[in-house]
Amino acid sequence: MYRDKILHVIGNGGHARSIFSIIREMGFGRVLIYDDNEDRRSGEGGFELLGPISSVHNHWHPGDLMFLAIGDNALRDRLARGFISHGYQFTSLLHSFSFIAPGVIVGRGVVVMPGSVINSFSKIDDQCILNTSCSVDHDCLLGEAVHIAPGARIAGKVHIGARTCIGIGASVINNISIGVNVTIGAGCVVVRDVPDNAVVVGVPGKVIKFKEQ
Ligand code: JB2
């Protein structure tokens, strides 16, 4: 299905290394990678490592697809808005060893890593990362550029605001609302609603500070 497509990958750091196997599985005709850091322009067999991010417009053709391999939620969100305003098209990367239930809506530029489950009627907005073996249960809403880190568990009817990161192995009980730009620490158990910009750690989760905006 993707054999005739060219995929432009922005970023060649740790997150890119996580998504390469999905890109290979999807079978894109060509994969072109960009990074502003010159030290990161070597490496991945079969993929073409090009110049800085700004050079993508020299290589872009109508019908091509883009993916942002950038783990930082704020940066990914900002870059996505810029690229969309210039007409670039994003694809999502869904690994075959993930389960996406009927009724789920997945936006653009989303990655669903191996072992992840998204249950019925959840909505995953653009540029979200559903990292390795995470689960998002029924009727959840994830805003733009949310990152659910490996092994995190989100119960049913949880709302998560844009650019929030749910840390590795964290759990969120059902019917919870988490604000925008929140960080939930590794292994945290969230049992209460969380306000915007909060950093929450521990079991049960407690707000320890608020991030500057
Ligand atoms: O301020 C920036 C900037 N900061 C990092 N401006 C621009 N234009 N680019 C920036 N980058 C670029 O983001 C780096 O050059 C690199 O291409 C890309 C990714 O940065 P990094 O390698 O630091 O992290 P990552 O996002 O690939 O991976 C992190 O997040 C993942 C979700 C790692 O922690 C991974 O382990 C994690 N799985």
DSSP assignment string, 62-76: TT-EEEE----HHHH
Is 53 a pocket residue for ligand 1 (Cβ < 6 Å)?
A: yes
Instruction: List the pLDDT tens digit at each of the 213 positions of the chain.
Output: 799 999 999 999 999 999 999 999 999 999 999 999 887 766 666 788 889 999 999 999 999 999 999 999 999 999 999 999 999 999 999 999 999 999 999 999 999 999 999 999 999 999 999 999 999 999 999 999 999 999 999 999 999 999 999 999 999 999 999 999 999 999 999 999 999 999 999 999 999 999 987
CA distance 199 to 3: 43
CB of 18 shorter than 6 A to ligand 1: yes
- Compute CA distances 75 → 72, 163, 192, whole Å: 5, 9, 28
Q: Which two tokens stand for residue 39?
A: 């030290």
The DSSP code for 116 is -
Pick the residue whose CA is nearest to atom 33 on ligand 1: 14
| 76 Cα–ligand 1 center, Å | 9
User: pTM of the predicted model, to two decimals?
Assistant: 0.96
User: What is the whole-number distance in angstroms between the Cα of residue 138 and the centre of ligand 1?
Assistant: 31
Neighbours of 94 (CB within 10 A): 18
Is the Cβ atom of 82 under 6 angstroms away from ligand 1? no
CA pair distance 153, 137, nearest whole angstrom: 8
Is the CB of 21 inside a 6 Å radius of any atom of ligand 1?
no
Residue 79 in contact with ligand 1 by CB distance below 6 A: no
75 CB near ligand 1 (under 6 Å):
yes
pLDDT attached to residue 40: 72
Output the pLDDT for position 39.
Answer: 76
Cβ–ligand 1 distance for 12 under 6 Å, the answer: yes
Residues 6+ apart with CB under 8 A from 143: 125, 160, 161, 162, 163, 164, 180
User: What's residue 64's pLDDT?
Assistant: 98
What pLDDT score does 41 carry?
65
